[in-house]
Structure formats: C-alpha cells, structure tokens
Amino acid sequence: MKLKSLFFICLIFPFVLTSCNKSKDAPAAASSPKAILKINVDYEKQLGHGSNQWAVWIENANEELVKTIYVTAFTADGGYIPRPACMPIWVSKAEPSNLSGDVIDSFSGATPTSGLQTYVWDLTDNEGNPVEKGTYIFIVEATLFGDSEAIFKAPITIGDKETSVTAEPLFTSEDDKNKEMIKSVSAEYLFID
C-alpha cells in the first residue's frame, strides 16, 4: 500500500507543483508580431556606359552598416575596381573585397528589367541576428552615368507601429543624364502573419 501511495504522489506532485506556481493574475506571455521592411525602388533601365548599377542597404542611427539587402551583380563581383565611381559609398561601407563569394551571392543579382523592384529586410544584421527596435536608415545608392549618382536615404522607426517613408534623392552631379533611372524610393515597415 505504501508503495502505491508513493508512486501516486510521485506522479501527481509535478502536476500540483506546476499548478501551484501559476498565478491567476499573471498575464499570458505576449509574442511579438513578425515584421519586415519592404523597400520599393521604381527603376527604368537607361542606356550608356556606367549606368544601371545600384545598392540597397540598412544602417543604424550611427550610420554604421547593418545589412546589405541588394547590389547589382556587376558591382558586387568587382566592377567597382575598374570603375571606382560605381557606388563608392556602398563599397566603402561594405568592403566587398573582404567578403566571400557566398556572402556576395547572398545579396547580389542581375540588373532587373524596368519597373517596381521590391526588396525585403527581415530585420536581421549581416550575421543573421535580429536587430533591436529603434531608428534605422534605408539607403539606395544608384550610379546613373559615369560618376553621377543619386542617393536616396531616409530614417524609419522599427518598433510597435507600422509606418512608411519616402526618400528624396540627392544628386551628386548637375548633369541630367539618366536622372530618371530611379524614379522613386520608399519603405514600408509592416507586421506580417
């Protein structure tokens, strides 16, 4: 009889202990909703040597590179060496000469056809670690023609509220050639299922 009682107590005790530790007033743990940042680039292919190259990346509030999202393959594969005017800001921040081919392949791609291009940031850094809530900067650097560039950058808050932002271009040259290559850049911070 004692053996049966001891066996019964051993079976029931963990359940009772767990039940006693639960407070009726304690709220259930809330899980954070999954979120992304969509960056939209309205692109129109241009004619001419030294055009149709761009990079999309994220920086923190201190303007330090957090993650490269996309770079045209020509530049990522070393096109910046014979053409140093090709996306010099991204090249100086990302230091692609120090990256492995696998890493470069993870964010580079062929120059797409004209139209709206959408790039998604999964809110992780270059090492795959989730970033903290706060203000980040999304940047699109586009080589328009030769050493003429358009730079789109704007801050966006990653936090508890969906938001969207449009970035205005800064042109590095007064030359109008290919200024319509990137027509607009915007970003949307969204919660997803």
- pLDDT tens, residue by residue, 109-142: 998 999 999 999 999 999 999 999 999 999 999 9
Taking only the tens place, the pLDDT of each residue in 61-109 is: 999 999 999 999 999 999 999 999 999 999 999 999 999 999 999 999 9
pTM of the model: 0.82
Q: Which CATH number fits domain 33-192: 2.170.260.10, 2.60.40.4070, 3.40.1800.10, 3.90.180.10?
A: 2.60.40.4070
Query: Of 38, 83, 39, 54, which is closest to residue 181 (Cα–Cα)?
Result: 54
| Burial environment of residue 178 by CB neighbours within 10 A (0 to 12, 13 to 18, 19 or more) | buried
